[in-house]
Amino acid sequence: MSIVEIATQPHAGQKPGTSGLRKPVTVFQQPHYLENFVQSIFDSVSGSVSGSVSGSVSGSVFDSAPDPKGTTLVVGGDGRYHNRAAIQTVLRMAAAAGYGRVLVGQGGILSTPAVSCLIRKYGASGGIVLSASHNPGGPSGDFGIKYNVANGGPAPESVTAAIYARTQEISVYRIWAEDAPIDLERVGVTKLGPLVVEVVDATDDYAQLMTTLFDFDAIRDLLQGDFRFCVDAMHAVTGPYARRLFEDMLGAPAGTAIHAVPLENFGGGHPDPNLTYAHELVERLFGENAPDFGAASDGDGDRNMILGRNFFVTPSDSLAVLAANHRYVPAYRAGLAGIARSMPTSQAADRVAQGLGIDLYETPTGWKFFGNLLDAGRVTLCGEESFGTGSNHIREKDGLWAVLFWLNILAARRQSVADIVQEHWRTYGRHYYARHDYEGVKSDRAESLMDGLRQRLAGLPGQRFGAEEVAYADDFAYTDPVDGSCSAGQGLRIGLVSGSRLVLRLSGTGTQGATLRLYLEAYEPDAQRQNLEVGTVLAPLVAIAEEVAQIRHYTEMERPTVIT
């Protein structure tokens, strides 16, 4: 067999968002659609296959691109519909691109954190993740693809810009002319032409890494006592990992992991770990005879939701609590270098950083912005309000890592989740917080909303809205302190004299229309006022947002699609 060159034409709209390219399955099933994007990845990152993202961008590819032969590529996905077929295509194209070895998860399964783990452990030049994260799956659902670079993290903007530029001019792709598919079910080594394809157990290396970070003996004692725990894998990728870690290695009872079999359509559910979509877990934790602790993860395993008995922990609070309790976890006992959070994430972690005497970095949304800070040793923990938390152990957010971190704290402190969080509030103050998502908004109307508000920003400081006065209003821009790169237009911020904030931005993770996200934050240092109803506290901020942005008018919606 040999390499075949296939003539093609560019497909419009192949611009990666915050987490790669996401489109409906039917779009990816178009002739040459996936192949064009994969070839554009290989063409554009050929300057990084030696193990580092470097070189200046010239046109759409990196200058001085070395030969990719002999390098390793990691490939895996979240098991959603079209995952297996897409992997076969990627393998054949990797063979044609001259890669020496591909590590692929058994059954085509690899969580996004596991991909990052494998890249770093085996010195791979990069990895391809086939996932649309928390978006629905199935034939009528979504599919996605993203590239992770040699540090294990998502490709930075310089790389995604090069990939997109290449998609606009591509005229040919190369693929190995081998029709027989690789057996993804059998662990072992197969040859695809000159390419070594190694099918690996999806959970082994990741589970081993977790044992180096946490006190498994203490967690085992907790889980084998009268402590009750439930983790919802939402029929997504983390099911095998949760069973391996919690039931097999830590001795939790069988059935601790629910919905643990990955399904191509996620059981007809929406694999987004929030109060709306993880409703069965929420009902358990807020019902009679509730477990002590509950957690859920998303489609590709990089997000998490944390619940105590009758108690929801916001992702912003979770990051702050983990940072404040780092001394209980072996890997972080020596101290934290710093903390990073995305701009829309609440400022709860800022107060912990101040208390610890360490730096706090505010970045745009997207895990790729944490990579430079982690690589430079400036931060140890990082997180986003969109249910993502992680550390310097890999270069992705990591859902089950966060669950283990919480279990380690609970094992050490022997207090309830609610007691730990409420004690945290008494020490640092409470940041009442919510995110309102307006999904499927007509794109032109969403852009008009943002443009209209953007034009009003300069005149907002000093204006009063009820009891609140605007302190500042801006369009957030970020300058990376490591490499000096600049990212503008990252979200509209309205800060109030009281310390409260409103943030509006358009999400880059949807596939139908636009998703407007409104973030609301109110700071309360008074312990006597820290157990009020969140909606009541934030209602004045919702009214301000409506007045300044006319959300109902532009979205044509009376209420958000989802509130988290």
- Residue pair 115/127 in contact (Cβ under 8 Å)? The answer is yes
What secondary structure does DSSP assign to 459-520, as a single string? G-TT-EETTEEEEEEEE--EE-TTT--EE----EEEEETTS-EEEEEE-SS-SSSEEEEEEE
User: Which of 255-259, 268-272, 446-450, 507-511 has the lowest average pLDDT?
Assistant: 507-511
Q: State how far the Cα of 319 lies from the Cα of 42, in Å rounded to an integer.
A: 35
The chain-wide mean pLDDT, for the chain, equals 93
| Burial of 444 (C-beta count, 10 Å sphere; 0-12/13-18/19+) | exposed
pLDDT tens-digit map of 43-88: 998 754 433 333 333 333 333 334 466 799 999 999 999 999 999 9
What single DSSP character describes residue 309?
T
pLDDT tens-digit map of 280-299: 999 999 999 999 999 999 99
Sign of torsion over alpha carbons 362, 364, 366, 370: negative
Per-residue pLDDT for 430 more than 80? yes
Mean pLDDT of 464-479: 96
Q: Which pLDDT value is given to residue 18?
A: 74
Q: Which pLDDT value is given to residue 508?
A: 59
Q: State how far the Cα of 558 lies from the Cα of 358, in Å rounded to an integer.
A: 43
Per DSSP, the three-state class of 363 is strand
Per-residue pLDDT for 115 more than 90? yes
Structure-model confidence comparison of residues 403 and 511, the more confident one:
403
Q: State how far the Cα of 56 lies from the Cα of 341, in Å rounded to an integer.
A: 28
User: Which of 12-26, 424-438, 536-550 has the lowest average pLDDT?
Assistant: 12-26
Mean pLDDT of 248-271: 95
Q: Which of 133, 316, 318, 386 is catalytic?
A: 133
Mean pLDDT of 150-173: 94
What single DSSP character describes residue 526?
-
3-201 with 206-428: one CATH topology?
A: yes
Q: State how far the Cα of 253 lies from the Cα of 506, in Å rounded to an integer.
A: 42
- Both tokens of residue 499? 């310390």
Contacts of 7 (CB under 8 A, 6+ apart): 171, 172
Q: State how far the Cα of 405 lies from the Cα of 216, in Å rounded to an integer.
A: 11
CB count within 10 Å of CB 394 equals 27
- Looking from the CA of 152 toward its CB, the CA atoms found within 13 Å total 24
CATH 3.40.50.720 assigned to domain 430-563? The reply is no
Q: Which pLDDT value is given to residue 48?
A: 41
> Would you tell me the crossing angle of helices 399-413 and 216-223 to the nearest 10 degrees?
70
Mean pLDDT of 524-530: 95
Let me know if 133 is a catalytic residue. Answer: yes
Q: Which pLDDT value is given to residue 53?
A: 33
The amino acid sitting at 57 is V
Q: Which pLDDT value is given to residue 60?
A: 31
The domain at 3-201 falls in which architecture? Answer: 3-Layer(aba) Sandwich (3.40)
Per-domain boundaries in the chain: 3-201, 206-428, 430-563
Q: State how far the Cα of 515 lies from the Cα of 475, in Å rounded to an integer.
A: 18
| Burial of 536 (C-beta count, 10 Å sphere; 0-12/13-18/19+) | exposed
- Rounded (10°) CA dihedral 50, 55, 61, 64: -70
Angle formed at CA 26 by CA 20 and CA 30, multiple of 5 degrees: 85
- Residue pair 296/289 in contact (Cβ under 8 Å)? The answer is no
Q: State how far the Cα of 397 lies from the Cα of 301, in Å rounded to an integer.
A: 9
Q: State how far the Cα of 90 lies from the Cα of 39, in Å rounded to an integer.
A: 9
- Both tokens of residue 39? 């070839």
Per-residue pLDDT for 23 more than 90? yes
Mean pLDDT of 161-165: 94
Question: Residue 511 — very low, low, confident or very high, per pLDDT cuts 50/70/90?
Answer: low
- Both tokens of residue 278? 């993880």
CB count within 10 Å of CB 358 equals 18
CA-closest candidate to residue 368, choices 126, 158, 155: 155
CB count within 10 Å of CB 442 equals 13
Q: State how far the Cα of 493 lies from the Cα of 474, in Å rounded to an integer.
A: 5
CATH number of 206-428: 3.40.120.10
Q: Which pLDDT value is given to residue 68?
A: 63
Contacts of 416 (CB under 8 A, 6+ apart): 292, 308, 309, 311
- Residue pair 434/538 in contact (Cβ under 8 Å)? The answer is yes
Mean pLDDT of 351-360: 98
Q: Which pLDDT value is given to residue 57?
A: 32
